[in-house]
């Protein structure tokens, strides 16, 4: 957690409403940090359905493996999140830590370990002392309250400079349902069917299979379209919980993601995911500029995505943006190396709506002063036209600054 808040942080932080069936509490367990909260417990009412997507890393953390196993049951009663230690690359010790943590949480809340979901974030390779949860989780279970969403988001931060929360309220049938979400992430961000750590809660009565389908579809153009540094974490976890409490107010029970009654809900659900994903991009380690990359005219959406990510993950492109230099040559480089269909002589490039390259060469109307002024803005859009087809996609990233190197150069110190 940095004391210096990102200049790209949202100016308005929403107040998340209470959500029936969800109670939260935080504590300082001394996992790694001193004088700050580092453990979050979320107690969920019986009958809460759960869905999740996780990192595709071949070296996943112990909590990721624990959650994957428990997801098969489809129900959840407790979520425990700690910051400061990722419990990743910790071997048998890591697996024992997850078992002990879940056992303590289950005892504290009166549920089965199979209904406990875990997430850890922080340093990789250091054993997690799960005995530090003894007593702490019991107290949290007793004191958990319906409010405190911002405190919860703060407790799961590591190098984040601000807590990330989002909310939407929408009608399902004749009843009002709420969707609340929180996320953490600032570095080691290049999700692949996963989202750093993010947790979504709703009181809508959705089955686990329905929620899973919505989640899998929802991350494709939100969290999976964000990259900070091209590095996919060992711990990426996105869990969604549906308490079903709105059923008593008349919300219909939904078992299929294709149910037409879900149209408005899906739009709101995806909006929460998109909001949180953008906040992660805004909090990229050392970031000073939010960068939106749009690629159109590709042979397919998938091809456009690969090219957009090639641009977004290029250190040369990102450092040029940090230096406020509209260096389209680096964009051309990133397009060319992506391994996707591209025609140099059809390529066009624009920075913040100002076209700098056209038909494979510098635009005849190029004005250095105009472009330089545009590059001083805190939000930069790079638009690339390939002129080959109808494929289009969008990716969010940030610039690469000296502070990113400083943060990651002594992360374990």
Within a domain: residue 337?
Answer: yes
Within a domain: residue 258?
Answer: yes
Within a domain: residue 141?
Answer: yes
Each residue of 238-255: b (16+ CB within 10 Å) or e?
bbbbbbbbbbeeebbebe
Count the domains in the chain: 2
Same domain, 273 and 309: no
Looking at the predicted structure, is the pLDDT value of residue 411 above 70?
Answer: no
The residues annotated with a catalytic role in the active site are 195
Same domain, 258 and 304: no
In three-state form (DSSP H/G/I as H, E/B as E, the rest C), the secondary structure along 216-231 is HHHHCCCHHHECCCCC
Q: Which pLDDT score, from 0 to 100, does residue 3 have?
A: 61
Domain boundary among 226, 260, 282: 282
Same domain, 198 and 101: yes
Same domain, 204 and 304: no
Looking at the predicted structure, is the pLDDT value of residue 380 above 60?
Answer: yes
Q: Which pLDDT score, from 0 to 100, does residue 413 have?
A: 44
Band (pLDDT 50/70/90 cuts) for residue 262 is: very high
Predicted confidence (pLDDT) per residue in 124-175, tens digit? 999 999 999 998 999 999 999 999 999 999 999 988 999 999 999 999 999 9
Q: Which pLDDT score, from 0 to 100, does residue 190 have?
A: 74
Within a domain: residue 14?
Answer: no
Same domain, 157 and 260: yes
Interval 245-274 mean pLDDT: 98
Whether the Cβ atoms of residue 101 and residue 118 lie closer than 8 Å to each other: yes
Pick the residue with more confidence: 32 or 200? Answer: 200
Whether the Cβ atoms of residue 37 and residue 26 lie closer than 8 Å to each other: yes
Does the reported pTM lie above 0.85?
yes
H-type helices in 172-232, by residue range? 208-219
Q: 41 is in which domain, residue-wise?
A: 22-282
Interval 282-286 mean pLDDT: 87
Q: Quick one: CA dihedral 32, 33, 35, 41, positive or negative?
A: negative
Q: Which pLDDT score, from 0 to 100, does residue 229 have?
A: 80
Q: Which pLDDT score, from 0 to 100, does residue 118 have?
A: 98
Domain boundary among 282, 298, 320: 282
Reduced to 3 states (helix: H, G, I; strand: E, B; else coil), residue 21 is coil
Interval 36-65 mean pLDDT: 95
- The answer for 71, left when phi > 0, alpha when psi is -120 to 50, beta otherwise, is alpha
Interval 337-354 mean pLDDT: 97
Within a domain: residue 8?
Answer: no
Within a domain: residue 200?
Answer: yes
126 is annotated as contributing to ligand binding: no
Within a domain: residue 56?
Answer: yes
310 is annotated as contributing to ligand binding: no
CATH for 386: 3.10.20.340
Predicted confidence (pLDDT) per residue in 301-341, tens digit? 999 999 999 999 999 999 999 999 999 999 999 999 999 99
Within a domain: residue 11?
Answer: no
Band (pLDDT 50/70/90 cuts) for residue 274 is: very high
Domain boundary among 282, 298, 329: 282
Looking at the predicted structure, is the pLDDT value of residue 46 above 50?
Answer: yes
Pick the residue with more confidence: 230 or 254? Answer: 254
Whether the Cβ atoms of residue 62 and residue 87 lie closer than 8 Å to each other: yes
Whether the Cβ atoms of residue 298 and residue 307 lie closer than 8 Å to each other: yes
State both tokens at 135.
């007593």
Interval 83-108 mean pLDDT: 96
Q: Which pLDDT score, from 0 to 100, does residue 412 have?
A: 58
195 is annotated as contributing to ligand binding: yes
Cα dihedral: 16, 19, 22, 27 (round 10): 20
Whether the Cβ atoms of residue 19 and residue 167 lie closer than 8 Å to each other: no
How many helices (H) and strands (E) would you count in the chain? 11, 15
**What is the percent of the chain where pLDDT is above 90?**
85
178 is annotated as contributing to ligand binding: no
Strand partners, 239: 52, 199
State both tokens at 396.
């969010």
């Amino acid at each position: 957690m940095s004391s210096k808040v990102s200049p790209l942080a949202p100016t308005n932080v929403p107040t998340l409403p209470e959500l029936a069936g969800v109670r939260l509490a935080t504590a300082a367990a001394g996992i790694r940090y001193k004088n700050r909260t580092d453990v979050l417990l979320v107690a969920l009412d019986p009958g809460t359905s759960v869905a999740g997507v996780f990192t595709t890393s071949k070296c996943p953390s112990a909590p990721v493996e624990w959650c994957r196993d428990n997801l098969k049951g489809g129900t959840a009663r407790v979520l425990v999140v700690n910051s400061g230690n990722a419990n990743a690359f910790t071997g048998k010790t890591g697996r024992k830590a997850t078992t002990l943590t879940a056992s303590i949480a289950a005892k504290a809340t009166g549920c089965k370990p199979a209904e406990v979901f875990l997430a850890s974030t922080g340093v990789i390779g250091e054993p997690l002392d799960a005995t530090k949860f003894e007593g702490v989780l019991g107290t949290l279970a007793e004191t958990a309250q319906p409010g405190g969403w911002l405190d919860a988001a703060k407790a799961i931060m590591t190098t984040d400079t601000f807590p990330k929360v989002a909310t939407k309220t929408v009608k399902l049938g004749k009843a009002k349902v709420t969707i609340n979400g929180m996320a953490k992430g600032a570095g080691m961000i290049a999700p692949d069917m996963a989202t750093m750590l993010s947790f979504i809660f709703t009181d809508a009565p959705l089955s686990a299979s329905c929620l899973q389908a919505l989640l899998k579809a929802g991350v494709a153009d939100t969290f999976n379209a964000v990259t900070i540094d091209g590095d996919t974490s060992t711990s990426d976890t996105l869990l969604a919980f549906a308490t079903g409490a709105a059923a008593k107010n008349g919300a219909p029970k939904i078992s299929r993601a294709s149910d037409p009654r879900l149209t408005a809900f899906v739009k709101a659900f995806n909006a929460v995911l998109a909001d949180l994903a953008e906040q992660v991009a805004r909090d990229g380690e050392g970031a000073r500029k939010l960068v939106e990359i749009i690629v159109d005219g590709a042979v397919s959406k998938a091809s456009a995505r690969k090219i957009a990510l090639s641009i977004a993950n290029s250190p040369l492109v990102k450092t040029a943006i940090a230096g406020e230099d509209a260096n389209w040559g680096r964009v051309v480089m990133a397009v060319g190396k992506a391994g996707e269909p591209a025609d140099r002589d059809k390529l066009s490039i624009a920075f913040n709506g100002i076209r700098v390259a056209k038909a494979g060469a510098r635009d005849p109307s190029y004005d250095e002063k105009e472009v330089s002024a545009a590059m001083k803005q805190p939000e930069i859009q790079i638009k690339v036209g390939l002129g080959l087809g109808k494929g289009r996609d969008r990716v969010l990233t940030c610039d690469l600054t000296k502070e990113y190197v400083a943060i990651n150069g002594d992360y374990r110190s």
